[in-house]
A and B are shown apart, each in its own frame.
Chain A
Amino acid sequence: MGNADTDRKTLTLPSDVSAVERVCEGLLAEAAAQSFGEDDLFAIHLALEEALMNAAKHGNALDPTKCVRVEYQITPEKFDATITDQGCGFNPEALPDPRSKENLYKYGGRGVLLMRAYMDTVEFNPSGNRVHMVKYRTDQAAKG
């Protein structure tokens, strides 16, 4: 058994789209190496893309002087990542429900809904510039 704190890795990436893609690919490769199944990898990929793009684009406004920090731990049991941007944050509780009639035709606003739907834990810090997400490995055999 490893130590939860010492086993956490940290990445710092610039606020640009290609950096987000590279980090997503790297973390997904690590999750795949821990034998996460196809459905779990899809869920992790979607939540990670949404969270990192939120941080780089909305949090840091793609400002090249600002970074996104990713602290993560991937074990055979779970994928656990905390993503922090240098923006002003937001109130996730105040986000309008993109499924409501008045928002259904809006172009954006679905990212946090998808993160919550696909991960087992999605928690924001009070200032809204950090999100902690956990996905526990699904027992593929039990799923059939």
Chain B
Amino acid sequence: MNDKKSPPVAVTYDGDVTIATLTRERILEDADIRALEETILPLIAQSDSIRLVIDFSTVRFLTSAALGLLIRISKKVREQGGRLALCSIQPKIYEVFRITQLDQVFQIFPDAEQAARSV
């Protein structure tokens, strides 16, 4: 399901680590990207040095536009002196990161717990 009316991100906390779990199976173009941007960027802005984990466990499909958004998020996190990790990326999605070599840009962990410990 790709319910566009539901929030695109579920935010939980593990101590002082913010875990943003992407809730939609597919991240396609403008509307999906804008919804994510409008949810995640304020989280970063609200914190001086956020420790942020983005959980991809639900995501089954994304396009290069989503990769661009992740770069923007990563830049914002760095500007605010924070740290970012990604986790629970399905193999097909991980392959997209590998092809684009963004697996070398992002810290990627098998699950949220390990990611939270690293940031």
Residue in A46, A107, A113 whose CB lies within 8 Å of B72: A107
Expressed in whole angstroms, the minimum distance between the Cβ of A107 and any Cβ of chain B is 4
Expressed in whole angstroms, the minimum distance between the Cβ of A51 and any Cβ of chain B is 11
Residue in A39, A50, A104, A106 whose CB lies within 8 Å of B63: A50
Judge whether A45 and B61 touch: CB under 8 Å.
yes
Judge whether B65 and A53 touch: CB under 8 Å.
yes
B117 interface residue (CB < 8 Å to A): no
Judge whether B102 and A104 touch: CB under 8 Å.
yes
Interface size on A, residues (CB 8 A): 22
Expressed in whole angstroms, the minimum distance between the Cβ of B27 and any Cβ of chain A is 11
C-alpha gap A46/B60 in the complex (Å): 11
Expressed in whole angstroms, the minimum distance between the Cβ of A104 and any Cβ of chain B is 6
B31 interface residue (CB < 8 Å to A): yes
If A17-B31, A45-B61, A49-B63 touch, whether A106 touches B71 (CB-CB below 8 Å) is yes
Expressed in whole angstroms, the minimum distance between the Cβ of A135 and any Cβ of chain B is 15
| Cβ-closest chain A residue relative to B30 | A17
Residue in A39, A99, A114 whose CB lies within 8 Å of B64: A114
Interface size on B, residues (CB 8 A): 23
Chain B residues within an 8 Å CB radius of A17:
29-31
Chain A residues within an 8 Å CB radius of B31:
17
| Cβ-closest chain B residue relative to A53 | B29
Judge whether B92 and A42 touch: CB under 8 Å.
yes
Q: Which among A42, A110, A114 has the greatest number of chain B C-beta atoms within 10 A? A: A110
A-B contact count (CB 8 A): 53
Expressed in whole angstroms, the minimum distance between the Cβ of B82 and any Cβ of chain A is 16
Interface pairs (25), CB distance under 8 Å: A17-B30, A21-B28, A39-B92, A42-B61, A45-B61, A46-B61, A46-B63, A46-B96, A49-B63, A50-B64, A53-B29, A53-B63, A98-B100, A99-B100, A104-B101, A104-B104, A104-B105, A107-B69, A107-B72, A108-B68, A110-B67, A110-B68, A114-B64, A114-B96, A114-B99
Expressed in whole angstroms, the minimum distance between the Cβ of A47 and any Cβ of chain B is 10
Residue in A45, A53, A99, A107 whose CB lies within 8 Å of B101: A99
Which 9 residue pairs across A and B have the least CB separation, nearest first? A107-B68, A110-B64, A99-B101, A117-B99, A111-B64, A49-B63, A110-B100, A17-B29, A108-B68
Chain A residues within an 8 Å CB radius of B68:
107-108, 110
Judge whether B64 and A108 touch: CB under 8 Å.
yes
A68 interface residue (CB < 8 Å to B): no
